[in-house]
Amino acid sequence: MDIVDVFRSPDQVLPHAEEAIRLKPKVFWMQEGIVNREAAERLTAAGIDVVMDRCIKKDHERLFGTIGLPAQAPFGA
């Protein structure tokens, strides 16, 4: 497993982080608006990379562009 992508409120993240520690993914990704520092500390201590408060789709499009199309600047840029 490469990524655990979490769409839960911050107070619901810790049980998922504990399960992820057992499963050992490469990355535990908390979507936009989700920050749980306790979970991040536990995951990092277990050797799992942590991303908080980021949208994986937006980051992918920013880095690689949309599928089959070149990357585009945001509207109005």
Identify the CATH number of the domain in which residue 43 sits: 3.40.50.720
> Does residue 71 belong to any structural domain of this protein?
no
Q: What kind and span of H or E run contains 3?
A: strand 3-6
Region of residue 16 (left: phi > 0; alpha: psi -120 to 50; beta: else): alpha
> Does residue 76 belong to any structural domain of this protein?
no
For the stretch 12-69, pLDDT in tens is 999 999 999 999 999 999 999 999 999 999 999 999 999 999 999 999 888 887 665 5
Helix 37-45 and helix 13-23, axial crossing angle in degrees, nearest 10: 10
Q: What's the pLDDT at 37?
A: 98
First to last CA, the chain: 36
Lowest mean pLDDT among 3-7, 63-67, 73-77: 73-77
Place of tokens 């979507």: 31
Q: Which pTM value belongs to this model?
A: 0.81
> Does residue 57 belong to any structural domain of this protein?
yes
Average pLDDT over residues 8-15: 97
> Does residue 9 belong to any structural domain of this protein?
yes
Which residue type, as a one-letter code, is found at position 5?
D
Number of domains in the chain: 1
